Structure 1
Amino acid sequence: MCSRKRGKKEPLKQPKKQAKEIDKEDKAIKQKQKEEQKKLEAVKVKATGKGPLATDGMKKYGKK
Protein backbone atom coordinates (compact mmCIF):
# COMPACT_ATOMS: atom_id res chain seq x y z
CA MET A 1 0.00 0.00 0.00
CA CYS A 2 1.14 3.44 -0.80
CA SER A 3 1.47 5.93 2.03
CA ARG A 4 0.39 8.76 -0.28
CA LYS A 5 -3.30 7.92 -0.69
CA ARG A 6 -5.56 10.69 -1.90
CA GLY A 7 -9.27 11.13 -1.27
CA LYS A 8 -11.37 10.33 1.75
CA LYS A 9 -9.88 8.37 4.58
CA GLU A 10 -11.80 5.45 6.01
CA PRO A 11 -13.40 6.17 9.38
CA LEU A 12 -12.08 4.29 12.37
CA LYS A 13 -14.17 1.24 13.19
CA GLN A 14 -16.32 1.58 16.26
CA PRO A 15 -16.24 -1.24 18.80
CA LYS A 16 -19.42 -3.34 18.82
CA LYS A 17 -21.85 -2.62 21.61
CA GLN A 18 -22.24 -5.40 24.11
CA ALA A 19 -25.72 -6.67 24.84
CA LYS A 20 -26.88 -5.47 28.22
CA GLU A 21 -27.98 -8.07 30.68
CA ILE A 22 -31.55 -7.46 31.80
CA ASP A 23 -32.60 -8.91 35.11
CA LYS A 24 -36.11 -9.58 36.37
CA GLU A 25 -36.40 -6.26 38.20
CA ASP A 26 -35.63 -4.26 35.05
CA LYS A 27 -38.18 -6.28 33.08
CA ALA A 28 -40.81 -5.63 35.74
CA ILE A 29 -40.10 -1.89 35.77
CA LYS A 30 -40.29 -1.65 31.96
CA GLN A 31 -43.55 -3.62 31.90
CA LYS A 32 -45.04 -1.32 34.54
CA GLN A 33 -44.01 1.78 32.57
CA LYS A 34 -45.60 0.40 29.39
CA GLU A 35 -48.86 -0.25 31.22
CA GLU A 36 -48.89 3.26 32.68
CA GLN A 37 -48.22 4.75 29.23
CA LYS A 38 -51.15 2.80 27.76
CA LYS A 39 -53.44 4.02 30.55
CA LEU A 40 -52.39 7.64 29.99
CA GLU A 41 -53.02 7.39 26.26
CA ALA A 42 -56.46 5.88 26.86
CA VAL A 43 -57.38 8.70 29.24
CA LYS A 44 -56.06 11.29 26.79
CA VAL A 45 -58.18 9.90 23.95
CA LYS A 46 -61.22 9.81 26.21
CA ALA A 47 -60.73 13.43 27.32
CA THR A 48 -60.18 14.83 23.82
CA GLY A 49 -63.33 13.21 22.45
CA LYS A 50 -65.74 14.96 24.82
CA GLY A 51 -64.68 18.57 24.37
CA PRO A 52 -64.54 21.12 27.19
CA LEU A 53 -65.10 19.58 30.60
CA ALA A 54 -66.47 22.54 32.62
CA THR A 55 -69.35 23.68 30.39
CA ASP A 56 -72.25 22.78 32.70
CA GLY A 57 -72.21 25.95 34.80
CA MET A 58 -71.59 28.46 32.01
CA LYS A 59 -74.50 30.45 30.62
CA LYS A 60 -74.49 32.22 27.30
CA TYR A 61 -75.75 35.78 27.20
CA GLY A 62 -77.01 37.40 24.06
CA LYS A 63 -80.18 37.99 22.09
CA LYS A 64 -83.30 36.32 23.36
Structure 2
Amino acid sequence: MSGRQGGKAKPLKQKKKDQRDLDPEELAFKEKQKQDAAAKKAFMSNVKSGKPLVGGGIKKSGKK
Protein backbone atom coordinates (compact mmCIF):
# COMPACT_ATOMS: atom_id res chain seq x y z
CA MET A 1 0.00 0.00 0.00
CA SER A 2 2.92 2.30 -0.39
CA GLY A 3 1.67 3.34 -3.84
CA ARG A 4 -1.06 5.58 -2.41
CA GLN A 5 -0.48 9.18 -1.53
CA GLY A 6 -2.14 10.50 1.55
CA GLY A 7 -3.53 13.95 2.04
CA LYS A 8 -4.75 16.48 -0.44
CA ALA A 9 -3.34 16.41 -3.98
CA LYS A 10 -1.70 19.58 -5.25
CA PRO A 11 -3.62 21.40 -7.99
CA LEU A 12 -2.08 21.49 -11.44
CA LYS A 13 -0.31 24.70 -12.36
CA GLN A 14 -2.12 26.82 -14.92
CA LYS A 15 -0.54 29.05 -17.51
CA LYS A 16 -0.42 32.74 -16.75
CA LYS A 17 -2.90 34.81 -18.69
CA ASP A 18 -1.37 36.92 -21.42
CA GLN A 19 -1.66 40.66 -21.01
CA ARG A 20 -3.61 41.57 -24.08
CA ASP A 21 -4.18 45.05 -25.35
CA LEU A 22 -7.50 46.42 -24.17
CA ASP A 23 -9.49 48.60 -26.49
CA PRO A 24 -11.03 51.86 -25.20
CA GLU A 25 -14.50 50.30 -24.85
CA GLU A 26 -13.20 47.60 -22.51
CA LEU A 27 -11.25 50.14 -20.47
CA ALA A 28 -14.33 52.35 -20.15
CA PHE A 29 -16.45 49.36 -19.13
CA LYS A 30 -13.97 48.28 -16.44
CA GLU A 31 -13.74 51.85 -15.12
CA LYS A 32 -17.54 52.06 -14.94
CA GLN A 33 -17.65 48.77 -13.05
CA LYS A 34 -15.10 50.10 -10.52
CA GLN A 35 -17.14 53.28 -10.02
CA ASP A 36 -20.37 51.31 -9.59
CA ALA A 37 -18.71 49.05 -7.02
CA ALA A 38 -17.39 52.05 -5.09
CA ALA A 39 -20.82 53.71 -5.13
CA LYS A 40 -22.48 50.50 -3.94
CA LYS A 41 -19.94 50.13 -1.13
CA ALA A 42 -20.57 53.73 -0.01
CA PHE A 43 -24.33 53.20 -0.17
CA MET A 44 -24.15 50.01 1.89
CA SER A 45 -22.00 51.72 4.53
CA ASN A 46 -24.62 54.49 4.78
CA VAL A 47 -27.39 51.93 5.15
CA LYS A 48 -25.53 50.06 7.88
CA SER A 49 -24.80 53.24 9.82
CA GLY A 50 -28.49 54.22 9.84
CA LYS A 51 -28.30 57.32 7.67
CA PRO A 52 -31.41 58.20 5.65
CA LEU A 53 -31.45 56.94 2.08
CA VAL A 54 -32.97 60.07 0.56
CA GLY A 55 -31.35 63.49 0.67
CA GLY A 56 -34.23 64.98 2.62
CA GLY A 57 -34.47 68.62 1.64
CA ILE A 58 -37.25 71.04 2.67
CA LYS A 59 -40.59 69.47 3.50
CA LYS A 60 -43.58 71.35 2.24
CA SER A 61 -46.45 71.96 4.59
CA GLY A 62 -49.95 70.77 3.87
CA LYS A 63 -51.37 74.31 3.85
CA LYS A 64 -52.97 75.69 0.71
Q: TM-score, normalised by structure 1?
A: 0.50
| Alignment-derived partner of residue 37 in structure 2 | 37
Q: Is there any run of 5+ residues in structure 2 with no aligned partner, and where?
A: 1-13, 52-64
Amino acid at match of 2:25: E
Give the superposition deviation at 1:46: 0.1
Q: Is there any run of 5+ residues in structure 1 with no aligned partner, and where?
A: 1-13, 52-64
- Which is higher, the Rg of structure 1 or of structure 2? 1
- Distance of 1:15 and 1:35 partners within structure 2: 30
Q: Give the share of equivalent positions with the same residue, in percent.
A: 29
Amino acid at match of 2:21: E
Give the superposition deviation at 1:24: 0.3
Structure 1 residue ranges, 4+ long, deviating more than 2 angstroms after superposition: 14-18
| Greater RCO structure (CA 8 Å; 6+ sep) | 2
Question: Pairwise CA RMSD of aligned residues?
Answer: 2.1
Give the superposition deviation at 1:19: 1.8
Q: CA, structure 1 residues 46+21, in 2 after alignment: closer, same or farther (shift >3 Å)?
A: same
| Alignment-derived partner of residue 25 in structure 2 | 25
